[in-house]
A and B are shown apart, each in its own frame.
Chain A
Amino acid sequence: MSRPAGTASAPAPGRSRRRSRGWIATVPLLAFVAIVFGAPLVVLLGGTFVRQGQITGENLAESLQGAYLTALIGSVKLSATVAGLGTVIGTFLAQAIVASRLREAVLTASGVLANFGGVPLAFAWIATLGNSGVVTRVLGLGEHGWSLYNFWGLTLVYLYFSVPLMVLVITPALDGLRPQWREAALNNGASAWQFWRYVGVPVLTPSLLGGVVLLFGSAFAAYATAAAMVGTTVPLVTLQIANALTGNVLIGHENVALALSLDMIVVAGLVMAVYLPLQRRSARWLR
């Protein structure tokens, strides 16, 4: 898709002048990112290995122990659960609407709901299923020991933006499943199950895995919803970082927040490293 600059017939001086201009126009953006984005990351990396003026691995070691380790595992568990459930539910929902009249409406709604995160989402659910939420009161869930403020409650809330995200990701891939393939399979005597088992799911696999990774990443990075909803009752690494950043640590251990951040970046980076090649692979089916 990239187009060579200029055309072959362009006179050389003009082209070279334009090239130098072009080079200059990218400088502000690259410099901005290097300073505003790069500097904090470099400081974060450096600060991870400094405690009270000395270079040490203690921060990193501490961030992988005790409550911090529990929080990191808790975040990974929550994100993996949300990603797994969100992928399955989102795919079924997408398949249900992909060829129906509701398609456009559901896709537009998904585009909106996928961005519905943060604080308002938490409050909407607290008003619905919180301790004095409307549905909790109407159904008398409180007497049955219902609580929104735990692992599964948070999963339920996170799915609210994860499922629409999955619908957006998987619908183009479902469009890529040509009706001819299905017809060919059925003509050769395949059952619907066999079609999905041997044709549909293998074709969709890159997109499905890409969706899992995307959902994992967005749930892993989410902070606002969890902070507004559960406080610290569910151990999550983002909540621990926020805690440590606001000074809720032993004196001299402030940089544990940076070490935890580094842990997070490593996990998110590994997960994204899987996603990007997969996305390229699944892009083949979008044509």
Chain B
Amino acid sequence: MAALTPAPLPGDAPASSGRGRKGRPRVWRVVVLSLAALYFLVPMAASFWFTVDDPQGFSADAYGQIFSAPGFGSSLLLSLGLAAATIVVVLLLTLPAMLAVRLGAPRLRPVLEVVCTLPLVVPPITFVAGISTVLRFGPEYLARTPFYQTIIAMQNPDFPVVLVLAYVVLALPFAHRSLDAGLRAIDVPTLVEAARNCGASWPHVVFRVIVPNLRSALASASFLTLALVLGEFTVARLLSFQPFPVWIVYISGSQAQVSVAVSLFSLLLTWLVLLAVSVAGRNRS
């Protein structure tokens, strides 16, 4: 899948109105914009037409069938559950570490940055090749140890913990980037010192001082992770689990219209999530 890229923050975009030569609409600009509009809008419109096209004319049946298609509810619920678990784990791991490198261990900061960027360099499919090898060979060497049961439990198809672990790794770069932007905007050491001087306990500092200041950064990290998990296909497919995106391919074998309808549905879902990110970003500035 395409790398998730956070929606641009309005703060990154200095208004350069002075450059605008609005008086002279340029031909090439109009041509470029119309071609782009054509290229980006036609597939959307055509997909929609594909789902409602019917020998008798117009029919929204395909959308009705989504909800009754076998496996729709369970796969969507699985994806949402995985997303929730991934968000909790990724935030619990990154937030303390990122606070720590700002407060007490600045020398670890570049280490953290590199560690959180690495998953972007390694293509997900190679990561899953490694995971599946571990899962395959792990039991052979660990058969007599308690690890064996752990590895089996991790692959429970009702809630594959191994997917959560993999998704946390894939989500690290985005969580790191969002939180880093949020932490840049506030002066963490001063806030912490002020709160501590006023007698606040550490939990109080973290949950009543830091977290409220990071609300929008936490929201955008969560939404980006949600979008990532809802669209993730490679890892789940190759480890033979069936969350939502894998289910779409499965259903496409039998019902082409429904699968396109579901694609549009999941697209809409992802767009809402990502729009929420850009709104969260806008609130921040």
Contacts and interface: CB of A to CB of B under 8 A. Distances in A.
Interface in A83-116: 92-93, 96-104, 107-116
A33 B21 CA distance: 50
Contacts of B6: 111
A39 B227 CA distance: 26
B122 A268 contact: yes
A171 B130 CA distance: 37
Contacts of B111: 30
A10 interface: yes
Given A117-B231, A120-B266, A124-B43, A258 B129 contact: yes
Contacts of B115: 29-30, 33
Interface string B92-104: 1110110111111
A133 interface: yes
Contacts of A135: 42, 46
Nearest to B40: A113
Interface residues of B, number: 103
Interface in B197-248: 227, 231-234, 237-238, 245, 248
Contacts of A36: 165-166, 168-169
Contact of B274 (A1, A111, A268): A111
Given A40-B133, A171-B8, A246-B238, A223 B97 contact: no
A74 B103 CA distance: 48
Interface string B127-138: 111111110010
Given A26-B97, A28-B93, A123 B102 contact: no
A116 B166 CA distance: 20
Interface string B2-25: 111111101011101111111000
Given A118-B1, A222-B1, A268-B121, A257 B233 contact: no
A68 interface: no
A223 B7 CA distance: 23
A22 interface: yes
Most chain A Cβ neighbours within 10 Å, of B50, B122, B123, B237: B123
A281 interface: no
Nearest to B50: A127
A81 interface: no
Interface stretch (A41-49, A54-62, A193-201, A202-210): A41-49
A29 B37 CA distance: 43
A104 B125 contact: no
Contacts of A245: 128-129, 132, 238
Contacts of B104: 5, 15, 18-23
B193 interface: yes
A7 B270 CA distance: 44
Contact of A18 (B103, B130, B245): B103
Contacts of A70: none
A161 B231 CA distance: 14
Contacts, number: 313
A155 B229 CA distance: 25
A115 B47 contact: no
A6 B102 CA distance: 9
Contacts of B160: none
B184 A238 contact: no
B124 interface: yes
A134 B53 contact: yes
A160 B40 contact: yes
A144 B16 CA distance: 47
A114 B224 CA distance: 13
Interface in A217-258: 217-218, 220-225, 227-228, 238, 241-242, 245-246, 257-258
Contacts of B237: 224, 227, 242
Interface of A: 1-7, 10, 15, 18-26, 28-30, 32-33, 36-37, 39-41, 43-44, 47, 92-93, 96-104, 107-120, 123-129, 133-135, 159-163, 165, 168, 171-172, 175, 179, 182, 214, 217-218, 220-225, 227-228, 238, 241-242, 245-246, 257-258, 260-262, 264-265, 268-269, 272, 286
16 contacts: A3-B102, A21-B103, A22-B101, A26-B97, A26-B101, A29-B96, A37-B119, A40-B127, A108-B7, A111-B274, A114-B5, A124-B43, A134-B46, A161-B2, A179-B19, A221-B3
Given A1-B184, A98-B16, A245-B132, 12 more contacts: A18-B104, A22-B105, A26-B112, A40-B133, A111-B277, A119-B248, A127-B50, A127-B51, A135-B42, A227-B249, A245-B129, A264-B125
